[in-house]
Amino acid sequence: AHAPGVVRAGTLVVAPPRDTNEIDRFAARTSGHARVDEGQIAALEPDLAGRFRKGLFFAGEGHVDPRAAMRALVESLREAGVELRFGADGSALGPEAGVVVDCRGFAARPDLPELRGVRGEMIRVRISEVRLTRPVRFLHPRIPLYVVPRRDGEYMIGATMIESADKGAVTVRSALEMLGAAYALHPAFGEAEILEMSADVRPAYPDNEPRIVERVGRIFVNGFYRHGFLLAPAFAKRAATLAFERAEDRVAI
C-alpha cells in the first residue's frame, strides 16, 4: 500500500526437462499454486512457449523493485515530516536517545551473537528480446534461481545462498550458475547486457525466522534472512506498536 510499483501478476515455477520431478517436490512443500502445462505456461509467458512442459503458477504472489520502493518510502516519510539521517552510526545510542529500534541487519551481531550471515549474490541484466511479465523461478537440484522482470527490459537474476558472512564481490562460480540459469530459461539471455553484479549478507537466526527482541535497552528487529522485503510491513507494524508502548512507559516513569 505504501510503495509504488508493486506488481500483482503471480509467479511461475519451471524446471529443466530432465528435472521435472523438482516441480513435484516444490509443489509438495508449498501451497497456493496451480499446476500448469506447456500451453498454460505459453499463455502466461508467451516467450517461454515450447520450452517447459510442466510448471506451477502461484497466482497470489507479487513482486516489487526494492530500490525504487525504498526511494519512494524515504520520500513519503520526508513529506510526512520525518527526519532521516544517513551515514550516522547508531550503534552507540544510549537510553538518552529515547526509544531505540535497532535494525542494523548483520552489523548488529555483536549484540545478537546468535545471528549468522547468509551470503546472497545477484546479477542485473538488460535485454529487449525477452519479455517476461512476472518472476520465474527456475528449479534445479543444485541451485534454484529466479529471474524477476523490472522496468525497461531489466531483469534481476538471483540469488545464491551461501553460509558465509563475506560481503566480497560475486564469484565466478556464482556468476556462471546464475547466468547459466537465465540462459537455460531463455537462450536470448545470452545476448543480455550485464548491468550489475553484487553480493550482500542476509542476517539470519538459526531457525531462519525473524524476531523482535528487547535487549540492552533496545528493540532489535532482525533475522529477516531471505524475506526482508516480504515481511517488512508486518514486522514494522509490530515493532511500531512495541516502540509506542515503550515510549509511553518512559513517560509514565
Cell (9 digits) for 50: 515450447
Least gap, CB of 57 to ligand FAD (angstroms): 18
Examine residue 10 and tell whether it contacts ligand FAD (CB under 6 A).
no
Examine residue 200 and tell whether it contacts ligand FAD (CB under 6 A).
yes
Examine residue 117 and tell whether it contacts ligand FAD (CB under 6 A).
no
Nearest residue (CB) to ligand FAD, 205 versus 229: 229
Stretch that binds ligand FAD, among 45-53, 84-92, 162-170, 243-251 (CB under 6 A): 84-92
Examine residue 30 and tell whether it contacts ligand FAD (CB under 6 A).
no
Measure the CA–CA gap between 125 and 149, rounded to whole angstroms.
10
Kindly tell me which residue out of 15, 23, 36, 103 binds ligand FAD, with binding defined by CB under 6 A: 103
Least gap, CB of 252 to ligand FAD (angstroms): 29
What letter does residue 123 receive in the DSSP assignment? E
213 CB-near residues (< 8 Å, 6+ apart) = 112, 219, 220, 222
List the one residue out of 219, 201, 243 whose CA is nearest residue 107. Answer: 201
Examine residue 52 and tell whether it contacts ligand FAD (CB under 6 A).
no
Nearest residue (CB) to ligand FAD, 16 versus 90: 90
Measure the CA–CA gap between 131 and 46, rounded to whole angstroms.
8
Examine residue 205 and tell whether it contacts ligand FAD (CB under 6 A).
no
Measure the CA–CA gap between 197 and 160, rounded to whole angstroms.
12
Query: Could you count the other beta carbons within 10 Å of the beta carbon of residue 104?
Result: 17
Measure the CA–CA gap between 204 and 106, rounded to whole angstroms.
8
According to DSSP, the residues that pair with 213 across neighbouring strands are: 220
DSSP element (H, E) containing 155: strand 154-158
Least gap, CB of 102 to ligand FAD (angstroms): 8
5 neighbors 63 (Cβ within 8 angstroms): no
The residues in 210-249 that bind ligand FAD, with binding defined as CB under 6 A, are 222, 224-230
Nearest residue (CB) to ligand FAD, 105 versus 149: 105
Stretch that binds ligand FAD, among 136-144, 166-174, 180-188, 199-207 (CB under 6 A): 199-207
Nearest residue (CB) to ligand FAD, 35 versus 215: 215
Least gap, CB of 168 to ligand FAD (angstroms): 13
List the one residue out of 68, 19, 12 whose CA is nearest residue 45. Answer: 12
* Interface ranges with ligand FAD (CB under 6 A): 89-91, 103-107, 120-122, 158-159, 200, 202-203, 222, 224-230
